Amino acid sequence: MSRPPLQRTRYQGLTASWCRRLLGQLRNSWRAGSLALLALLSGYFLGQNVTSLLRTGVPGGRPVVVFLLVLVLEVVVRLRTRLVRDEPSLGWVVADNLRIGLVFAVVLEAFKLGT
């Protein structure tokens, strides 16, 4: 007895999309992978330093700096969703990784402060 064919669900489409992206990253050149990793680490580094260094120079302190940072990141996300329909270019991958590293650093800093 053979198994019935599987239905095409949204979850199945999502997992297939993730697998294609993962395999695409593994097949990319070392330049693209290293730039993506450097952007992720640089975003983390900038996220930790921006919130620490700019809080003394900006009136309102850390909450204003984090608000402005989130505002800029939201604009970048909105631009990307409107401009990029298919596979993103290397520049957009670098911008996304910078954004992800920055957000991770700010969230980790919030957990460390307990706020």
Question: What are 24-39's pLDDT values in tens digits?
Answer: 766 767 788 788 889 9
The rounded distance, in Å, linking the Cα atoms of 11 and 97 is 24
58 domain residue, yes or no: yes
100 domain residue, yes or no: yes
Question: For residue 42, what pLDDT is reported?
Answer: 92
12 domain residue, yes or no: no
22 domain residue, yes or no: no
Under the banding of pLDDT at 50, 70 and 90, the label for residue 5 is: low
Q: Please answer whether residues 103 and 47 qualify as being in contact, where contact means their C-beta atoms are separated by less than 8 angstroms.
A: yes
10 domain residue, yes or no: no
Domain count, the chain: 1
Containing structural domain, residue 86 = 37-113
13 domain residue, yes or no: no
Q: Please answer whether residues 66 and 12 qualify as being in contact, where contact means their C-beta atoms are separated by less than 8 angstroms.
A: no
Q: Is 2 left (phi over 0), alpha (psi -120 to 50) or beta?
A: beta
Provide the token pair at 112: 């460390």
**Burial class of 21 by CB neighbour count within 10 A (0 to 12, 13 to 18, 19+):** exposed
8 domain residue, yes or no: no
3 domain residue, yes or no: no
Question: What are 8-18's pLDDT values in tens digits?
Answer: 788 888 888 88
Question: What are 60-87's pLDDT values in tens digits?
Answer: 666 777 777 778 888 888 888 888 878 7
pTM reported for the whole predicted model: 0.65
